[in-house]
C-alpha cells in the first residue's frame, strides 16, 4: 500500500472511531428506596467471639499500668533533680544548720552524761614495781606456693 493510501485509511479509521459515542460504565450503584421499619425475618444470633484473648487483654492493661507508674516515678525523679540542680552553698548551709546545731547539742549532752557517770578512781601504788616479759617464739612455715606461717608466742 502506498503512503498516500495508508494515510487516507488511517484518517478514515480515526474519524470512524471519533464519531462513536463514548460508553460510560457505572462504577457504583445507590438504591434510594427506604428500608422497611420492621420485617418478618427472625433475629440472627450474634455470638460473642472476642478478637483478643482475655490473657492478652490482661497483659495489655498491666503494661499500661506499669508504663504509667514508671512515668510517674520518672516525673518525680525529674522534679527532685531539678530541685537539686538549683541548690547553692548558702541554701545547703541554711538547711543543714539546724541539724548541725542539734547534733552539736546532743554530743555535748552525751559527753556531759558520760563524764558524770564515770567513776572516779585513784589507785595509789606503794612499793617497787617490776615488769618482767619473756617471749618464746616458735615459727613454722608449711607449703610452697600458698605458704602458711604459724607463730606461737608464749
Residue-wise pLDDT tens digits, 8-62: 999 999 999 888 887 777 778 888 888 777 777 777 788 877 788 888 888 999 9
Spell out the residues 6+ positions from residue 141 whose beta carbon is closer than 8 angstroms to its own: 147, 148, 149, 150
Domain membership flag for residue 28:
no
> 3-class DSSP state for residue 151?
strand
Domain membership flag for residue 101:
yes
**Closest to 52 in 3D by CA, of 43, 61, 63:** 61
Domain membership flag for residue 3:
no
Mean pLDDT of the chain: 82
CA angle 38, 41, 45 (to 5 degrees): 110
pLDDT at 11: 93
Domain membership flag for residue 137:
no
Domain membership flag for residue 72:
yes
* C-beta of residue 138 within 8 angstroms of C-beta of residue 152: yes
Domain of residue 87, residue span: 54-116
Q: How many domains does the chain have?
A: 1
Domain membership flag for residue 76:
yes
Strands 148-153 vs 137-142: parallel, antiparallel or unpaired: antiparallel
Domain membership flag for residue 124:
no
**Closest to 107 in 3D by CA, of 99, 117, 97:** 99
Domain membership flag for residue 12:
no
Amino acid at each position: 500500500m502506498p503512503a498516500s493510501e495508508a494515510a487516507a485509511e488511517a484518517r478514515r479509521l480515526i474519524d470512524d472511531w471519533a464519531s462513536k459515542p463514548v460508553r460510560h460504565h457505572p462504577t457504583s450503584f445507590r438504591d434510594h428506596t427506604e428500608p422497611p421499619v420492621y420485617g418478618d425475618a427472625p433475629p440472627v444470633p450474634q455470638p460473642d467471639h472476642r478478637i483478643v484473648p482475655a490473657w492478652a487483654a490482661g497483659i495489655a492493661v498491666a503494661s499500661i499500668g506499669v508504663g504509667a507508674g514508671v512515668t510517674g516515678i520518672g516525673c518525680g525523679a525529674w522534679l527532685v533533680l531539678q530541685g537539686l540542680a538549683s541548690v547553692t552553698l548558702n541554701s545547703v548551709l541554711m538547711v543543714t544548720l539546724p541539724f548541725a546545731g542539734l547534733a552539736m547539742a546532743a554530743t555535748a549532752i552525751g559527753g556531759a552524761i558520760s563524764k558524770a557517770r564515770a567513776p572516779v578512781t585513784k589507785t595509789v601504788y606503794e612499793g617497787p614495781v617490776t615488769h618482767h616479759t619473756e617471749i618464746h617464739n616458735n615459727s613454722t612455715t608449711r607449703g610452697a606456693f600458698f605458704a602458711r606461717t604459724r607463730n606461737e608466742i608464749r
